[in-house]
Amino acid sequence: MEDKLEARLLLMDSSPSGRVVESTRRIMYTVSLTLLPAMAISVWVFGWEAVRVLVLAAVFCIGLEALIARFVSYKIDFLDGSALLTGILLAMNLPANAPWWMILVGSLVAIIIGKQVFGGLGQNIFNPALVARVFLLISFPVEMTAWPKPFAGVDAATGATPLGILKTEGVGALAKTNLADLAIGSMGGSLGEISAIALLLGAAYMIYKRYITWEGPVLFIGTVFVFSGIFWLIDPTKYADPMFHILTGGVFLGAFYMATDMVTSPLTFKGRLLFGFGCGLFTIIIRMFGSYPEGVSFAILLMNAMVPLLDKYFPDKKFGMVQNG
Amino acid sequence: MPKTFEMGGIHPPEDKISSDEQIIFGEVPEKLLVPVDQHIGKPCEIIVEKGSVVERGQLVAKSTGFVSSNVHSPVAGKVDKIVKMPQLGGQIKQCALISPETSGENYADILKKDSNNNINLEKLSVENIRKTIADAGIVGMGGAGFPTHVKLSPPPEKTIDTLIINGAECEPYITSDHRVMLEHAEEMIKGILILQHLFDGVPIYIGIERNKPDAIETLEKAAKDYDKITVVPLIVKYPQGGEKQLIKAILNREVPSKGLPMDVGVVVQNVATVLSIHDAFYHNRPLMERVVTISGNLVKKPGNIMLPIGTPISYVMDKFEIDPEKVRVMISGGPMMGRTSYSFESPITKTTSALLFFDESRIIGRDENPCIRCGSCLRACPMGLAVAQLTEMIKANNIASAVQDSIMDCIECGSCSYVCPADRRLVHWMRLGKNIIRREN
């Protein structure tokens, strides 16, 4: 009897009925897939060690989220792809020789402090992967700055990143780096910060899918270029050239994958312009005057904190805000 | 160069499967349930009672103020009783249950018996036009149901310089306006001329989306002798049929926030409404029937049918051979703005442009996932509202901020919910917020 009644009841809901095929899962997995070229480059440059870091970070992040899902009152879909993406982005920020326990600590920080304490997906103020990177950088400065040299195999000698060399030895020591190597990714560094071209490839697809917009990354990279260019023009013997600055460190990774993170970047057009500009400005300030060689992570985290203000004070134009009535 | 509005908008699948189906007529049903309230504004006062004998066109419920609208009986018959019935959209309202004398007779024959008048436009006074439209109980038939005579009576300080006829029909599935434009173009033009006369010969634009090329052609032909009537083809984009979007698309004028079309000198009338205005003058016929699109994946042969107001849905389901056991989702209107309903005994009203019947494959009643701030809703909103933030404000009961961020400008088109990857019921929260604000004021 009850079955029959159930079968005849009509479903009620508020309009609209019907929706796009787009979903949170689809977005998260697609963004993860667009990182494939960059992942491939990191494997090419650093070998199987890169695969190890990627897999461990992804497994730790998803596993931790699954664990937390058992203890919290709200619903967590740990397979929605967001934990996977955080894991991949965290790996992209680590050296290929990162020990497993460091990856675990990073995942713990990313998933718990970076994301779930705020209430989970969509609620976090700071980019979880960057929170983890900065945490590790401050806590384990030795492990986080001993970067394996490109194409050197498993027990490779380690060396500094080009930016590290710039910081410690000055612009003269950079003589041998050439721009093509930097663009492809043949340099020391974390998994994801090395290949600008591979990152650009993935980003182009995301822009096509409208998962990210051009204005944030362009302003970010443009600001780094312009300000480092000004310093370079003032004294080329002391400062590196602007192309060097945008191709090294995490500028491309940061601009296209961190500063465009939907959750932690502004919703409005002007907000995104200012956000990109701020990221670029802080990056250069830290690189030029800070004690760390690299400033992208700190810059983005600083700007993450500004997002609610940017959204509030730089809203998009609304319909009907005219005086012709 | 075809036009459209600039801000936001979406393009859902059009699904206009019934666009080639001529308007058909059915037999008068055994019972009619004529609802007393079918409009926005003050409720009517019912003036018949159990046992009353009514003629076709006789007043059933009387308008109780300026913003109110008469209701007439579409058939001659006897009032069995006054009952409260669930309406399309869910509210329970008073209806006159009428047993028609003419039940079984084809409705087309009944329409033919109505009088034919000759109208001398020049002799019609402004007051006369407004009174005839008000007496005929004509309301906006695009969906809102706002009394037409009120819209046609702007305060003296507002000058109307343009009239727009809304033939956009941007909702998926619905084809009733499309068929009216194809089959009643001559009558429409006559109705339009009455309105033009009312506003001292202002220019008229008929906005039609380009997915109806035959309607564009037919109306261009019908209007060719009138140089002040222009058909404007529009790029297909939802919600172009929204008044503010249509005015922006055709005239590039922007109705100010909280304003009305008359604030930019425009009055917009729907295609079906214009036909009803024609009928009121040329046939002495109050608004008693309308064209309804019957469609959806459970309808084997979708179509368009002229139905007397008060026809129960069960009649339509018999006529179109829809299996009640299979229906899980029933929508009055289009899938974007239409409402789901729960009773097969609910009657057709003046604003029912379509009835859609779906099985469980129609996606509805989903669980909300967390907002990932993707910004899709902001890009889709034709009013440029920050939907993601506004809905959070409403959930947090932060009414003042929501008002400041123009929540009242929401037209409830549903574009935001449609594009949301997290299945958030954005328009639902917007509507709730608007209702809370209206109640507080």
Interface contact A320-B254, CB threshold 8 A: yes
Q: Which helix (H) or strand (E) holds B234?
A: strand B229-234
Q: What are phi and psi of A324, to 5 degrees?
A: -85, 10
> Cα–Cα distance between B79 and B407 in angstroms, integer?
44
Q: Are A207 and A214 in contact (CB under 8 A)?
A: yes
**Vertex B51: Cα angle to B48 and B53 (nearest 5):** 70
pLDDT in tens, B255-291: 999 999 999 999 999 999 999 999 999 999 999 999 9
Q: Do A11 and B375 touch (CB under 8 A)?
A: no
Length of chain A (residues):
325
Q: With 70 as the cut, is the pLDDT of residue A1 above it?
A: no
The shortest C-alpha distance from A124 to chain B (Å) reads 10
Residues B135, B176: Cα–Cα separation, whole Å: 24
**Element housing B294 (H / E):** strand B289-295
pLDDT tens digit string along B6-57? 999 999 999 999 999 999 999 999 999 999 988 888 888 999 999 999 999 9
Q: What pLDDT, in 10s, does the model give residues B359-376?
A: 988 877 778 999 999 999
> What chain A residue is nearest to B388 in terms of C-alpha separation?
A267
Contact between residue A240 and residue A165 where contact means Cβ atoms under 8 Å apart: no
Task: Give me chain B's average pLDDT, please.
Answer: 94
**What is the C-alpha to C-alpha distance for residues B64 and B59, in angstroms, rounded to an integer?**
13
Residue B1, pLDDT above cutoff 80: no
pLDDT tops 90 at residue A321: no
Structure tokens at A324: 């012709």
Q: What is d(CA B361, CA A144) in angstroms, rounded to the nearest whole number? A: 52
Nearest CB among B342, B386, B412 relative to A267 is that of B386
The residue count for chain B: 441
d(CA B307, CA B350): 10
**CA nearest to B189, candidates B237, B121, B133:** B121
Q: Which two tokens stand for residue B142?
A: 């695009």
Of B258, B372, B431, the CB nearest to A121: B372
pLDDT value of position A126? 97
Chain A contact probe: residue of B364, B377, B417, B425 with most A CBs at under 10 A: B364
Nearest CA in chain B to A27: B421
CB B172 within 8 A of CB B335: yes
> Which pLDDT does position A29 carry in this prediction?
96
Nearest CA in chain A to B331: A17
Q: What is the mean pLDDT of residues B130-149?
A: 93
Cis peptide before B239 (omega within 30 of 0): yes
Average pLDDT over residues B221-227: 93
Angle CA B432–B362–B364, to nearest 5: 25
Chain B hits for A324, CB-CB cut-off 8 Å, are 253-254, 256, 264
- The predicted pLDDT at position B362 comes to 82
A223-228's contacts with Cβ under 8 Å and 24+ in sequence apart are A223/A276, A223/A277, A223/A279, A223/A280, A223/A281, A223/A283, A223/A284, A224/A251, A224/A280, A224/A283, A224/A284, A227/A280, A227/A281, A227/A284, A228/A284, A228/A287
pLDDT tens for each residue of B394-432:
999 999 999 999 999 999 999 999 999 999 999 999 999
Mean pLDDT of all residues belonging to chain A: 88
The pLDDT tens digits for A220-263 are 999 999 999 999 999 888 888 898 889 888 899 999 999 999 99
Q: Torsion angle of alpha carbons A95, A97, A100, A101, nearest 10°? A: -70
Instruction: Using CA coordinates, name the residue in chain B closest to A265.
Output: B373
> Which residue reads 């970067």 in tokens?
A147
Distance CA A136, CA B255 (A): 54
Question: Are B384 and A317 an interchain contact pair (Cβ–Cβ within 8 Å)?
Answer: yes
| pLDDT value of residue A181 | 75
pLDDT of the residue at A156: 54
Question: For the segment A123-180, what is each residue's pLDDT rounded down to a tens digit?
Answer: 999 999 999 999 999 999 888 877 777 776 555 567 777 887 777 777 777 666 677 7
Q: Which residue has the tokens 């239409």?
A: B338
> Would you state the pLDDT for residue B37?
87
Sheet-wide strand order for B289-295: B23-25, B303-308, B289-295, B354-358, B329-332, B339-340
Nearest to B273 by CA among B405, B167, B403, B400: B167
Q: How far is CA B259 from the centre of its chain?
A: 20
Helix/strand/coil for A60: helix
Contacts of B151 (CB under 8 A, 6+ apart): B140, B267, B269
Q: What residue spans of A93-214 are helical by DSSP H?
A: 100-108, 128-139, 162-169, 179-184, 196-208
Query: Measured between beta carbons, which residues in chain B are less than 8 angstroms from residue A18?
Result: 12, 172, 335-336, 362-363, 418
Nearest Cβ partner of A20 from B259, B341, B419?
B419
Closest Cα of chain B to A157: distance in Å? 42
Tokens of B154: 């702007």
Burial class of residue A221 in the structure, from the number of CB atoms within 10 Å of its CB (0-12 exposed, 13-18 middle, 19+ buried): buried
Report the chain B residue with the minimal C-alpha distance to residue A75.
Answer: B369
Determine the average pLDDT of the residues in A289-300.
Answer: 89
Q: Using CB atoms, which residue from A15, A19, A121 is nearest to B363?
A: A19
Task: With CA atoms as reference, report the closest residue to B374 among A305, A192, A20, A112.
Answer: A20
Query: For residue B344, what is the DSSP state?
Result: T
Q: Which of B325, B336, B375 sits opposite A16 (nearest CB)?
A: B336
Question: How far apart (Å, rounded) are the C-alpha atoms in residues B165 and B292?
Answer: 19
- Which of B254, B330, B386 is closest, CB to CB, to A319? B254
Question: What percent of chain A clears pLDDT 90, i.e. is strictly above it?
Answer: 62
Among B429, B428, B423, which Cα is nearest to B372's? Answer: B423
Interacting residues of A118 by C-beta distance below 8 A, sequence separation 6+: A124, A125
Size of interface A-B (CB pairs under 8 A): 165
Q: Which residue has the higher pLDDT, B349 or A14?
A: B349
Among A17, A27, A316, the strongest candidate for a mutation testing the B interface, having the largest count of B CBs within 10 A, is A17
Distance from CA of A217 to the nearest CA of B (A): 16
How many helices (DSSP H) and strands (DSSP E) are in chain B?
A: 14, 17
What mean pLDDT is predicted for residues B93-100?
94
Number of Cβ atoms within 10 Å of the Cβ of A141:
11
Other CB atoms within a 10 A radius of the CB of residue A208 amount to 9
Per-residue model confidence (pLDDT) at position B90 = 84
Give the pLDDT of residue A166.
79
Distance CA A281, CA B166 (A): 51
* pLDDT above 60 (res A6): no
The 3-state DSSP composition of chain A as helix, strand, coil percent (nearest 5) reads: 60, 0, 40
With beta carbons less than 8 A apart as the criterion, state whether A230 and A187 touch: no
DSSP A129-163: HHHHHHHHHHH-TTTTT-EEPTT--TT--EE--HH
pLDDT at A125: 95
pLDDT of residue A175: 60
pLDDT at A191: 83
Binned at pLDDT 50, 70 and 90, residue A324 comes out as very low
| Average pLDDT value for residue range B230-239 | 96
